[in-house]
Amino acid sequence: MEQALTIGAVAERTGVAPSALRYYEAEGLITSTRTDGNQRRYHRDVLRRVSFVKVAQQVGLSLGEIHEALASLPESRTPTQEDWSRISRAWRPRLDEQIHLIERLRDRLDGCIGCGCLSLKACRLLNPGDHAGEHGSGPRYLIGDEDE
């Protein structure tokens, strides 16, 4: 027989508070069945969904976007690899872009090494008023404070 999880059990196993789980349900991110006494009982699949929500959130996605992605998962059966793969294909560009963004922030902080100039201050792309970098246009950096 399928073991049904109580809200407390799911909370403990996912590290997400019961109140948050109810909220997610109200938002349509997860579903539950009810006992005769109206208490929620969760299928184990919900653990994966909740974990997915958590990670996606850390990556900077809103619950709305996550909802949209999860909506493509079947409700009636445990999602297959292909089900998740569909989400993957949809998100991949976004995730790649996000990685890129962080890498550039990291590299930029590391002294603008990427573009070969020696300092942020001297980098024409970042501080174009400076006489230091007259040549070329180099890689486009992050958010350029495009000052002529």
Instruction: Note whether 71 binds a second copy by CB under 8 A.
Output: no
Q: Which of the residues 36 through 55 are near DNA (CB under 7 A)?
A: 36-40
Say how many C-beta atoms besides its own lie within 10 A of residue 29's C-beta: 21
Binding flags for DNA, 1-30, as an x/- string (CB under 7 A): -----xxxx-x-----xxxx-xxx------
Determine the Cα angle at 17 with ends 14 and 18, to 5°.
105
Stretch that binds DNA, among 58-66, 72-80, 113-121, 128-136 (CB under 7 A): 58-66
Residue 2, classified by CB atoms within 10 Å of its CB into exposed (0-12), middle (13-18) or buried (19+), is exposed
* 48: contact with a second copy by CB under 8 A: yes
Give phi and psi for 33, each to the nearest 5.
-105, 175
The answer to whether 143 contacts a second copy (rule: CB under 8 A) is yes
Structure tokens at 69: 């992605």
SS3 41: strand
Query: With respect to DNA, which residue has the nearer C-beta, 62 or 72?
Result: 62
Contact residues for DNA (CB under 7 A)? 6-9, 11, 17-20, 22-24, 32, 35-40, 57, 62-64
